[in-house]
Structure 1
Amino acid sequence: MTKYFRSNVDAMASYIPGEQPGRGTQIIKLNSNENPYPPSPAALAVLRNIDGEWLRRYPEPFAEEFRQAASKVLGIPSDWIIVGNGSDELLSVVIRACVAPGRKVVYPMPTYVLYETLSKMQAAEIIEIAYSEDYSLPLEELAAANGCVTFIASPNSPSGHLVSTDDLRKLASQLSGVLVIDEAYIDFTQENALTLVKEYENVIVIRTLSKGYSLAGLRLGFGVANPKLLQGLFKVKDSYNIDAIACAVGTAAINDQAYKNACVTKIKASRTKLATDLKQLGFHIWDSQTNFLLTQPREGNAEYLYQKLKERGILIRYFKQPGLDDKLRITVGTDEQNQALVEALIYLLGSGDKRIRDS
């Protein structure tokens, strides 16, 4: 039979995203870490007033309008910013620019599984270094591996923990390759690593508008790095990778920091309450600096609960892989969605805990 694909592509598994039910489906979706609140009214107003001329012409190749807006919000020069079709595209751009077959890509595990998928596309040598049970960064092992690209998600998924800027600084100082700090969930925590891009030429911080800004469907992300690093990345990005609509809507959204921050405040409060309710049901909960919780059911029946909740119209995330197959990742929804989840769990666990039902 004819072989169409490179041997490494034939051998690799596809990335499997969270289930996406059809539009209009009556389901509580807590499996993909989407923001439960609508986007900024300012962003929606831009969308309602799209000029047909924007669609007739090619967009600005570097999404300059968005770069200027992000520059003002972050206090970073606009030429230190690269914009992508979601932060996933920027992860791919880094891999394409820096990784050749046999070169090392390094990251701690468990983490975002797309790092593995992208690395296998390039036939990279993948070095996965296990996190300890307390999710402290395996700093010495990561530095010793000295990959051409090292990925650190902070806050991390699926654990929800934040890696300290001090640890990231120590790691950056010891690497000769590129350190990618993936800050997809940074809006839900206080500390960030943005200062490191000014200290180290080999560091890129990558962010997204999917989480804090409620724009997962728009596909817009951006990276911040020294222009010396960005000049190589620009060579391999698609010519017009950001469409005109995404640029305009994303610009309005990032300019509306007050709205984004108000939504984040509600999510953080809901996160605290949901964690408390799940603990009362006997779940072990890892501290989270994100819009989701990593949880471990007391009975060790994670897959059972995932399936039964799905049957009841509630989607959460289950990872059938070592170290995670006894755990569930649950997106923080609205208080009403979270309460529906808790009540379903009470029923499934056969608990009559009145404290939960009355809370």
Structure 2
Amino acid sequence: MSEPIGEQIRRAPKVLLHDHLDGGLRPQTILDLAPEGHLLPAGDAGSLGRWFEEAASSGSLERYLETFDHTVAVMQTADNLRRVARECVADLAEDGVVYAEVRYAPEQHLEGGLALTEVVEAVRDGFAEGEQQARDDGSPIVVRQLLTAMRHQARSQEIAELTVAYRDQGVVGFDIAGAEAGYPPTRHLDAFEYLQRENAHFTIHAGEAFGLPSIWQAIQWCGADRLGHGVRIIDDISVGPDGSPRLGLLASYVRDKRIPLEMCPSSNVQTGAATSIAEHPIALLTKLRFRVTVNTDNRLMSGTSMSREMTLLADAFGYGMADFRWFTINAMKSAFLPFDERLALIDEVIKPAYAVLGAMS
């Protein structure tokens, strides 16, 4: 009797490129660390976890953003940041993730008096502690930081410089996040030009809530290495008279240049970027062989994990382990880790494990 696909997925090595630190806290940790006077919407871990998922799925942007008020509130001291980072690594390792890039905005963690450098160092130390514990437990994992600047603020140059300053201390890249409409990536062009001069990597949230102009600017004006979400690239793909898909110039460019798409299916359904998992553009983009990767975005708000995201795709599209091997290698190829380290994980960890699972392609 063959092993259920969900169990195979659970045991498979996974690579995660798009995960927010402030979107992946354990509910119990929020309860433990909530500052005095901060009113939480529930008093026990189970109820609080359900509240986060229901609020994020409500269709109300205000309620969705409110969820982050509670997580960010408990991430204002070095000790708390270390704990959150350490637990993030533990949760990912338990799910079979072997490499992850976890992003957060240092500028959002200064209310307790920390400097930007202290924020980065606290997260760095927490990740290192989590990695050591995972190795001791026999589930080795490599986790690196992506430093995010908020696109509605004016600190992107400062965060870009922080990215370069700490790139030998666990920071592998830069990102901008926040509302796309009204805050195009070109507002932060100085930061991106600085990163390019410094030979630094960066991804840009683009093509999630806003459409093709956001993607075009991220790639052609700013030079993004990857697209955070990028789901709206589907708007540049039409169906010809014979029923076959036809790629517009931008979609063709993204595919031909192998620009990675950091796709987050459950999150996209919650925010309305996709109507359902079954109708998510990831299926067509995968069929057309874009550089698709599978990600979690906000594990707490979506009540998800890498194993869950992959299982949802298996259920919706009939994907097997050969497909998930492809997604995983796509992600590892697209990571901001040095080439030799990426290759070692592909050849020594990912491919051997999928071969055991019978996924050869």
Same fold (TM over 0.5): no
Determine which structure has greater relative contact order: mean sequence separation of CA pairs < 8 Å that are 6+ residues apart, divided by chain length.
Answer: 1
Q: Taking structure 2 as the reference length, what is the TM-score of the superposition?
A: 0.29
Q: Judging by fraction of residues, say which structure has more helix.
A: 2
Which is higher, the Rg of structure 1 or of structure 2?
1
